[in-house]
Amino acid sequence: MSHAWLKKYLKMKPEVTKIFEDLEDFRLFCVDFGHTFNEAHLYNKHNPIWKDYQNIIKGRDVKNMWWIDAEKMRNA
Side chain identity at residue 5, one-letter code: W
Q: Are 18 and 25 in contact (CB under 8 A)?
A: no
pLDDT of residue 35 exceeding 70: yes
For 36, phi and psi rounded to 5 degrees?
-75, 125
* 0.85 exceeded by pTM: no
Q: What is the pLDDT of residue 10?
A: 65
Residue ranges per structural domain of the chain: 14-75
Average pLDDT of the residues of the chain: 88
What angle (nearest 5°) sits at the alpha carbon of residue 19, between those of residues 51 and 34?
40
pLDDT digits (tens, 9 = 90+) for 41-73: 999 999 999 999 999 999 999 999 899 888 888
